[in-house]
Amino acid sequence: MLRAKQIRLLLAFLPAAALSESTFARSTPEPYVSGHYVAHSPAAEFKPVGEARRLAATLAAHRPGAFVIQGKGRSMQPLYPDGTLLVVQPMSYEKLQRGMTVIFRTPDNRTLAHVLVARTADGWRTSGLNNRRADFLPVQADDIRGIVIAAFALVDGTPFASR
């Protein structure tokens, strides 16, 4: 039988647990971010650095062909803050859908993570969430390395802002 003090302590934690589950731990983001459709892109989970690295590596190890990269830049904020660990899973070109975040190579051999905007006759149009317009060149099947299946934003105690 629980003592009154144990019950009060348990009840004190329940509202905080309910708030964290409903407010912060969402697996799918809002369908639109900064005017871009992102319903098939996972929201970043905010985790301490060590835990984020461990979770990303474990998830990638259990998915055939999956790998982890660390994002750099602000083009995908607020969905993925600078430095977010992205778990990437290869996917066939035919299965890609609007609203997925893809990792792809540009003609100048840079690696980018942008959201799929529209499929056209000459390839997929992509865009960063903070970019004013869609990327100029379409992305072809050979350019795509995979889709983002999980994201872990690193929390190290340094204050940052995210909208």
Report if residue 7 sits inside a domain. Answer: no
Report if residue 71 sits inside a domain. Answer: yes
| CATH code for the domain in which residue 40 is found | 2.10.109.10
Q: Which of 26, 56, 17, 30 is nearest to 152 (CA)?
A: 56
Report if residue 32 sits inside a domain. Answer: yes
Total number of domains in the chain: 1
Which pLDDT value is given to residue 79?
93
The predicted model gives 115-123 an average pLDDT of 95
Distance in Å from the first CA to the final CA of the chain: 45
Full domain range(s) for residue 42: 28-155
pLDDT digits (tens, 9 = 90+) for 58-117: 999 999 999 999 999 999 999 999 999 999 999 999 999 999 999 999 999 999 999 999
Report if residue 33 sits inside a domain. Answer: yes
Report if residue 17 sits inside a domain. Answer: no
pTM over 0.85: no
Report if residue 20 sits inside a domain. Answer: no
